[in-house]
Amino acid sequence: MMRLCGYILCLSFIISCIKTSAQSYNAINGSAYAGVLGNFTNPASGINTPFKWDISILGAQSTTTNNAVSVRNLNLNNVTSTAVLFQPTTGTGNRHIDNNADFHLVNIRYAIDKIQCVSFGIRLRSYSHAAATSFNFIDTTSGLLPFLSYNAGSTPFNSTLTNEAWIENDFTYSRILKEDNESRWSGGITLGILRGISGVYGSVNNLRYVSEPNRSVARNGSVSILYSDTYSVTDEKNTLVNNAIQLKKASKLSLGASVGVEYLVKKNVFDEPYNPKNYYWKIGLSIMDIGSNKFITAPYSFIIDSPKANVTDTGLINQIDGAYGHYDVKRVLINNFKGTAPYQNTFKMRLPTRLVLSIDKSLGTNFYVNALLSVNIYNQNSNNIYKTNTTELSLLVLTPRWENHFWGFYMPLQYTATNNLFIGTAIKIGPLLIGLHNVNWLDKSTIAALNGGSYVALHIQPKTQKLHHSLDCFEM
């Protein structure tokens, strides 16, 4: 049984690692140079950029908070020299792993005129969460039996896992709602066409066992595993293109939406045309990622309860190790439990719906500071396994920045929804934006703790023209 719990926890971590392909491009929060990337936090921001157009050709971001797993034998100089090992963190306590990841292939923004613009984007997004109640782990543990023996007790063990991943085609429209010499209101809406490509929910509830000489015997507990049918349509014998076609056929279409408004207090330069870079304050409010993905439940999903008499750790593990494929694992588990329950043919996973407040203050020549608050509408604790929730990791981000068209230097300070404090850094050189969520990742030992992340974007925009006013002096 504990092996199964380990599978559930490890699966979440593996998913979070392989989808390095979400929202946390923290450096450019509130920036007029964010262009189309500003839609990731507020769809009203697109019209408040000084460019006629801009394109983000490629970008990726990943954020992880974790106290469940650590890395051993990590050698950054020669990653193939030793086998990298993942193991539970040492000590006693609750464990969790959370990952938000985003990969955008192309995002394009175009200003129709001075009061309205449109955007289009293609993105792959993934949200993974795993948690387990308190257990003790010592790094000298030699096997499962010693682990179970010193974790045996009256407190039941519980764990959960969710992963939601989807492809998203975004269409954004933003426009000026009201404008005068002192201020400017804009509004925007994003409509997304979603294709869910991964839906996973797993839980171990109320697991109790007793430790006996040379074995541990399960006394109580239930296990629920729901997979999306997209996991059953691909085959390693097929080509990548064929697998992609099959995955597209199996994925279900859904709709998502985001809405927002933005208010600017202008910094006018005499009677010249207003430039969106010239403001004292910029305040944005948005509701992001409204909607959910729908999945067909795979036939090897199961819900089981109450282990049969004399179900032992070694006996169950030997049966699972000898099983072949998902159906055999399901059969083994059903044979070792008294009760089974039917599962619904479909299930939904909500998008990470949240309220986002952004306040941006100009401090003078190319200096700004941005404060962004992101409040999740739903929490991860859902009693309905057929309608689970995903959440955004960022809670509060404070970002001082210096930037112009070509250069940018950023130092975002991030406090996450899982109570982690990250000090990040980022740099912009021409079209390239690259940053770290946690500067501690510059140290090998803190990379092994797997807390932090990074982001990169290739963002092309035309050079802005300098506007002169009547007090400029010109040599004759």
Please, which pLDDT band fits residue 15 given cuts at 50, 70 and 90? very low
Please, which pLDDT band fits residue 464 given cuts at 50, 70 and 90? low
* Per-residue model confidence (pLDDT) at position 334: 86
**Separation CA 248–CA 127 (nearest Å):** 19
Average pLDDT over residues 244-252: 81
Instruction: Write down the domain spans for the chain.
Output: 2-71+95-136+145-399
What the block records as the tokens of 332 is 């083994």
Strand partners, 64: 99, 452
Strand partners, 409: 402, 427
* Per-residue model confidence (pLDDT) at position 12: 38
Average pLDDT over residues 65-75: 73
Which among 323, 325, 300, 225 has a CA at the least distance from the CA of 5? 225
* Per-residue model confidence (pLDDT) at position 18: 35
DSSP secondary structure letters along 277-336: T-EEEEEEEEEEEEEEEEEEBPTT-EEEEEEPTT-BHHHHHHHHHT--HHHHHHHHHHHT
* Per-residue model confidence (pLDDT) at position 9: 39
Higher-confidence residue: 18 or 339? 339
Which among 175, 95, 77 has a CA at the least distance from the CA of 134? 95
pTM of this structure: 0.85
**Separation CA 81–CA 83 (nearest Å):** 7
Higher-confidence residue: 340 or 449? 340
The CA-to-CA distance between both ends of the chain, in Å, stands at 86
| pLDDT tens digits, one per residue of 346-396 | 999 999 999 999 999 999 889 999 999 999 999 887 778 999 999 999 999
Strand partners, 126: 101, 165
| pLDDT tens digits, one per residue of 115-124 | 999 999 999 9
Examine the pLDDT at 202 and tell me if it is beyond 70: yes
Higher-confidence residue: 280 or 136? 280
Angle at 425 between CA 420 and CA 427, to 5 degrees: 155
Neighbour count for residue 322 (Cβ, 10 Å): 9
* Per-residue model confidence (pLDDT) at position 282: 97
Examine the pLDDT at 28 and tell me if it is beyond 50: yes
**Separation CA 286–CA 42 (nearest Å):** 6
What integer best gives the mean pLDDT of the chain?
83
